[in-house]
Amino acid sequence: MGFEPGQLNALERTLARLPLDYAGPGGAVAVLKDGEVLVRHAWGFADLERRIQFTPQTLFRICSISKQFTCGLMLDQFPDPSVLNGDVQARMPLLDGAPSALQLAHNQSGLRDYWATAMLCGSPIEAPFGEADARTLIGKTASLHFTPGTRYSYCNQNFRMLGDIVAERAGRPFGELVRTQVFDVAGMPTAQLCADTQAMPDGTTGYEGTLESGFRPAVNRIIWTGDAGLGASLDDMIAWERFIDSTRDDATGLYRRLSAPQSFAGGAFAKYGFGLSQVTLLGRRGTGHGGGLRGWRSFRFNLPSERISMVVLFNHMADPMAAALDLLGHLIEGPSKAGAGGSASPWDGDYLDPDYGIVVRLASTGDHRVRMHYGPNPELLDLGRDDEARGNGTVLRRGTDGIRMERDGDQHAVLLQKLAEPGETQPDIEGRFVCAELGATFACTLSGGAAYGGLSGFLGEGPMQSLIAVGPDIWRLPMPRALDHSPPGEWTIRFKRDDARRVTRAMIGCWLARNLVFERA
Strands 440-447 and 460-461: unpaired
If one looks up domain 427-520 in CATH, what number appears? 2.40.128.50
At 14 the pLDDT is 80
At 485 the pLDDT is 67
- Under 8 Å between Cβ of 197 and 177: no
| Maximal CA-CA distance, the chain | 74
64 annotated active-site: yes
418 annotated active-site: no
At 490 the pLDDT is 77
pLDDT value at 378 more than 90: no
CATH superfamily, region 5-77+177-328: DD-peptidase/beta-lactamase superfamily (3.40.710.10)
How much is the average pLDDT of 264-282? 95
- Under 8 Å between Cβ of 164 and 225: yes
At 277 the pLDDT is 97
Burial 448-481 (b: 16+ CB within 10 A, else e): eeebbbbbbbebeebeebebbbbbebbbbbebee
- Under 8 Å between Cβ of 135 and 157: no
Phi-psi region of 423 (alpha: psi -120 to 50; beta: other; left: phi over 0): left
Q: Per mean pLDDT, which range of 2-6, 186-190, 217-221 is the poorest?
A: 2-6
At 336 the pLDDT is 36
Tell me how far apart the alpha carbons of residues 240 and 309 are, in angstroms, rounded to a whole number. 10
CA-CA-CA-CA torsion sign (446, 448, 451, 454)? negative
The answer to whether 5-77+177-328 and 427-520 have equal CATH topology is no
pLDDT value at 2 more than 70: no
pLDDT top residue among 170 and 337 = 170
Tell me how far apart the alpha carbons of residues 94 and 143 are, in angstroms, rounded to a whole number. 8
According to DSSP, the residues that pair with 379 across neighbouring strands are 372
DSSP per-residue letters across 267-298: S-EESEETTEEEEEETTEEEEEEEEEETTEEE
pLDDT value at 342 more than 50: no
Selecting among 33, 67, 140, 271, the annotated active-site residue is 67
Sorted by where each begins, the domain ranges of the chain are: 5-77+177-328, 345-418, 427-520
Tell me how far apart the alpha carbons of residues 184 and 393 are, in angstroms, rounded to a whole number. 36
Q: Decide yes or no: CATH 1.20.120.420 for domain 345-418.
A: no
How much is the average pLDDT of 342-369? 84
Selecting among 64, 298, 364, 456, the annotated active-site residue is 64
Q: Per mean pLDDT, which range of 19-33, 260-274, 333-347 is the poorest?
A: 333-347
Name the percent of the chain lying above pLDDT 90: 76
